């Protein structure tokens, strides 16, 4: 999605939406990395939920971009599907980290 804000000239004058989209995209992977580096399941889970929240923000922002005709229906659907998939994967990871069996395993 980040690159769509460069390719599409419609974003040139809407600095706020463009920046929000870029921040959400960056926030997803950044929070996963930060949580992992905390070296505790509880902290990792907390940051995974923040990353999941950023996925939701991005879905809202791309919907707005689509309604404003900044992006095509195909681009909207593609990014939305990817966000949904990432969100599901994050939730599955959270569930596995909460599993008591996983907590007893040592790396």
- On whether the CB atoms of residues 76 and 63 are closer than 8 A, the answer is yes
Cα 41–chain centre separation: 20
Give the model's confidence band at 107: pLDDT under 50 very low, under 70 low, under 90 confident, else very high.
Answer: very low
For 12-58, how does the pLDDT look when each residue is reduced to its tens digit (9 = 90+)? Answer: 889 899 999 999 999 999 999 999 999 889 999 999 999 999 999 99
Distance CA 104, CA 37 (A): 19
pTM value? Answer: 0.85
Q: Which of 87, 95, 94, 96 is nearest to 28 (CA)?
A: 87
Mean pLDDT over each residue of the chain, to the nearest integer: 90
Domains and CATH numbers, the chain: 15-96 (1.20.1440.60)
More reliable by pLDDT, 28 or 105 = 28
* Residue bearing the bigger pLDDT, 83 or 100: 83
Could you tell me the pLDDT band of residue 103, with boundaries at 50, 70 and 90? low
Quick one: what percent of the chain has pLDDT higher than 90?
A: 74
> Could you give the CA distance from residue 100 to residue 23 in angstroms, rounded to a whole number?
34
- Residue 28: count of CB within 10 angstroms of its CB: 21
Q: Quick check: helix, strand or coil at residue 3?
A: coil
């Amino acid at each position: 999605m980040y690159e769509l804000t460069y390719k599409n000239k419609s974003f040139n004058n809407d600095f706020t939406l463009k920046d929000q989209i870029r921040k959400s995209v960056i926030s997803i992977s950044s929070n996963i990395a930060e949580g992992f580096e905390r070296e505790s399941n509880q902290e990792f889970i907390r940051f995974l939920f923040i990353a999941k929240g950023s996925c939701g923000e991005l879905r809202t922002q791309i919907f707005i971009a689509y309604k404003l005709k900044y992006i095509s229906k195909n681009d909207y659907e593609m990014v939305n599907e990817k966000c949904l998939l990432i969100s599901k994967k994050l939730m599955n990871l959270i569930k596995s980290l909460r599993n008591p069996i996983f907590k007893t395993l040592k790396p």
